[in-house]
């Protein structure tokens, strides 16, 4: 994380009625509270380095 720049936490959650919905994927190794970064072809955790590759989308004709 860059110095002096804060994370916009309001982009990670959505409120519907009386429920809070998490919009980002959580890290399975670190547990709840640690979100994974979403890249073009993968999800990665900045804390532990865990990485999941996205499945390529098949084109339907």
Structure tokens at 54: 């996205």
Tokens of 4: 């002096």
Is residue 43 situated within a structural domain?
Answer: yes
User: Quick check: is 31 in a domain?
Assistant: yes
pLDDT value of residue 51: 95
Residue ranges at the known binding site for Zn(2+): 27, 30, 45, 48
Total domains, the chain: 1
Q: Decide: pTM greater than 0.85.
A: no
Which residues, in sequence order, are CB contacts of 13 under 8 Å at separation 6+?
Answer: 20, 21, 22, 23
Task: Kindly state whether residue 47 falls inside one of the protein's structural domains.
Answer: yes
From the annotation, which residues make up the binding site? 27, 30, 45, 48
Residues 50 and 42: their CA atoms lie apart, in Å, by 10
Query: For position 44, what pLDDT does the model report?
Result: 96
Q: State the residue range of the domain holding 38.
A: 25-61
Residues of the chain with pLDDT under 50: none
CA gap 18, 13 in Å, rounded: 13
> Can you tell me the distance from the alpha carbon of 6 to that of 21, in angstroms, rounded to the nearest whole number?
21
Considering the domain boundaries, does residue 7 fall inside one? no
Say if 9 falls within a structural domain.
no
């Amino acid at each position: 994380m860059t110095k002096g720049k804060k994370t916009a936490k309001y982009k990670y959650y959505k409120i519907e009625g009386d429920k809070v919905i998490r919009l980002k994927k959580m890290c399975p190794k670190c547990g709840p509270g640690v979100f994974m970064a979403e890249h073009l072809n993968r999800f990665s955790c900045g804390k532990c380095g865990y990485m999941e590759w996205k499945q390529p989308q098949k084109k339907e004709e």
